[in-house]
Structures are given as C-alpha cells and as structure tokens.
Amino acid sequence: MAPMIYTLYGFAIFFFVFWCAMWLLHVLAILYGKFRLHRKIKELPPDVPYPGISILKPLMGVDPNLLSNLETFFTMQYPTYEILFCIEDEKDPSIELVNSLIEKYPKVATNVFIGGSTVSVNPKINNMHKAFEASNYDFILISDSGIRMREDTLQDMVGHMTETTGIVHQMPFTCDRPGFAATLEKIYFGTAQSRMYLSADCFRINCHTGMSTLMRKCVLVTKEGGLKSFGCYLAEDFFISKYFLDMGWRTRISSQPAMQNSGTCDVRSFQARLSRWAKLRMAMLPLVIVFEPLTECMVIGACAAWATSLLFRWEPVVFYLIHILVWLMCDWILLSIVQNGSLPFSKFDFIVGWLFRECTGPYLFILAVFDPSIRWRNRCFKLSWGGIAQEVKPRIKC
C-alpha cells in the first residue's frame, strides 16, 4: 500500500510543478511579447546598404485572397529584391494570376519557375528547388502563398539579421477575417501558439515554422545538397533551423508576426492542419506524446486540481474553475498584445472560440496519435521516428 501512496504523491507533485511551470510560461510570453513584438523598425546605418533578397514563393492553386496577398509582395518598400514564383503544374491557374501582376508591376524583378523538380519526397522542396538554385542574392525569404506582407516587413526582418543571426522568422498569426473559423484561427495563433513560440524564442529553443523565413543562403549551401538535402523531411523548416543552430548561428523572430490570409477558411481544414502539425512534432520529438497534452488548459487544470486536492486538501472543482478563468484572462491579454489593436470580434465570441479550441485540442491530439499518416493535399505520407518521411505510393524515392 505504501508504494502506491508514494507513487500517487509523486504524480501529484509532478503535475503541480508542471502546472506552475505553465503559469511561468504564461507570464513570460506576455512580457516577452510586449517587449519583442511590434517594435519600431530598426534602420540600418547610412553607410550599410540593405542586402538583396530572393523571395521564393511556392504556389499551388488559387484561393479568393491569393491575388491581394501576392500583390503585397510587389508593393513592398525595399530597395533590392526579386520574387521567384514556384509552380509545379504547368496548368495551375495561379500562373495567369502571377503573369497579370508581373504586367502590372514591370519594375519589380520577377521570374516564374514551372514544373518543379523531383529531388526529394517533400513537395515544397521539389517546387522551390529550381528557384533556389537560380536565386541571385545572399538572403533567401521562403514565403507561403497565404502570407500577406506590409510595406516595411522586409525592413523589419533584415533589421533583426545581426552578424550572428542566420535565420529571422515571423511568428504565425492571422489577418482579420469574418466567420467563426477565422476567429478560431486567430485565437489559436494568438494564444496557444504564441505562448509556446514566444517562450521558446526567449530561451533560444528551436520553434521555427517556415511560412515566412529569411535565411542566409551561404549557410544552406555549406550543407551537401543545399536546400534539397532537407527534402527527406516534411517538416523541413524545423530541420533547417536545427542545422543553423548546430552550425553556431542564432535564430530570431521579427517584431511583425506572419499575417496568414488564406481565402479558404473553415473549421475542418483548420483542425486537419493542427492534427498534421501534431503528427510532425511527435515524429520529430517523441516526448511530445507525453508532455504536449499537459500544456492544454483543460488537461493540466484537471491534473493540477487532483494534485492540489491530494497535497493541500483544496477543493478540486473550485480550483479547476478558477484555473480556467485565469487562463482565459491571460490568453486574452496575450492575444491583444499579438494583435496590437482592436480585435475583430467581441469578448463573447472570444470566450466561445476559446472554449471550443481548448476543449477540442486534446481530442485532435488523440486523433493524431492513432492515425500517424500525413495527408497533404492529394498525397499521403508516413513518418519514421526522427521525422524522415516516406510517401505512400511514392512518385520518387527518397
């Protein structure tokens, strides 16, 4: 009987300590976000020219916001850059859209690469490979199709590119859009995602997502194979960042978040995206299976309520409700910091969206555990431990 009691008390102490650590992350993310995000653009000294940047823009298909999103890349106030569009299918409707923008902005250096390559199992790497090889500048910006840029975004990212920094990436966030799905996305990226992203960046932990990433090309080409050497992973962004860190370079987030503005926004596709990311994290870092569920408000709150009832004889139901209320308030504060302005929904909408996200988060994680296959567009992949990907019925061998 005694060993069982000791075991219970051991679990209770673990859950209570983990719960306290999560609150420290809450406070850290709020303070670091206030300090780090939406700062004044760092101007380079007058005698230091702005470096040229090659923007790799992989495209596939057209959504209602693609034209306006792409146009923001043509109107940036930055002295020297080129846009390299990467389109795998020669019949892709985005080609016509891109050509119309090239005609509208003839002074912007552009090139269109159609057909992709078969150098890896990663479709994104295959799509970008030709453009990467043909890029003219020492800095590469990889930018997903759904990203919207401000006129000064490149200046902001370059301003954080110090002599010891190899990668500057934008923290994922979303543009203001109508509908419950858009509210849900903004709440997730402005709370759960931002909390871990800001905390990881503060401690210099690899938290890199590759939706908008500025990196030194010279570091990539020092690895045999260059960009294509990361094509055996689906989460190439994580392993690119890991390589930079292993080579002694720093990675940093810029002060402007990445403004996702996909024209296709629905709850099911968003949840599928979260589940896909969870599968990638589990394959890359197996301990995620144990610890990630404990970062969820509802899960760690229930564990902590049980732990404090055993350790301190506190009322578990009251503790749990107070825990949820304070967590919600902290998330509202963090979301407001990341938004840096008025939110496009009411407090009631926030509460509904927040509760939906927090209650479905553990469920999506469980689904990811029991279905490890990755579905990306019309293709399916399986992952081995360490993040190595293999396509089901592959087109190429990796």
pLDDT, tens digit, for every residue of 344-385?
Answer: 999 999 999 999 999 999 999 999 888 888 887 777 888 787
Assess whether 237 carries a catalytic annotation: yes
Q: What is the pTM of this model?
A: 0.94
Closest CA to 165 of 254, 273, 33: 254
SS3 379: strand
| 118: confidence class by pLDDT, cuts 50, 70, 90 | confident
| 28: confidence class by pLDDT, cuts 50, 70, 90 | very high
Number of helices (H) and strands (E) in the chain: give both, helices first: 14, 13
| 393: confidence class by pLDDT, cuts 50, 70, 90 | low
> For residue 372, what pLDDT is reported?
80
Within-domain flag for 192? no
Number of structural domains the chain divides into:
2
Mean pLDDT of 60-77: 96
Rounded to the nearest 5°, which phi and psi values hold at 118? -120, 70
Q: Answer whether residue 5 shows pLDDT above 90.
A: no
Within-domain flag for 396? no
With a CB cutoff of 8 Å and minimum separation 6, the contacts of 340 are 37, 38
Q: What is the CATH number of the domain that holds 215?
A: 3.90.550.10
Within-domain flag for 161? yes
> For residue 394, what pLDDT is reported?
53
With a CB cutoff of 8 Å and minimum separation 6, the contacts of 242 are 206
Looking at the structure, do residues 294 and 362 belong to the same domain, yes or no? yes
Query: Which residue of the set 237, 246, 331, 371 is catalytic?
Result: 237
The pairing of beta strand 389-391 with beta strand 379-383: antiparallel
Looking at the structure, do residues 131 and 161 belong to the same domain, yes or no? yes
Q: Answer whether residue 44 shows pLDDT above 80.
A: no
Looking at the structure, do residues 216 and 85 belong to the same domain, yes or no? yes
Mean pLDDT of 31-57: 90
Looking at the structure, do residues 281 and 143 belong to the same domain, yes or no? no
- Between vectors from CA 257 to CA 146 and to CA 266, what angle results, nearest 5°? 40
Within-domain flag for 259? yes
Q: How far apart are CA 95 and CA 122, in angstroms?
A: 22
**Owner of token pair 């610890």:** 291
Q: Which of 199-213, 264-278, 292-306, 364-378 has the lowest mean pLDDT?
A: 364-378
| 397: confidence class by pLDDT, cuts 50, 70, 90 | very low
Q: Answer whether residue 233 shows pLDDT above 60.
A: yes
Q: Mean of the per-residue pLDDT values for the chain?
A: 93
Chain centroid offset of residue 77 CA:
25
Looking at the structure, do residues 227 and 304 belong to the same domain, yes or no? no
> For residue 1, what pLDDT is reported?
57
Quote the domain boundaries for residue 315: 2-33+273-375
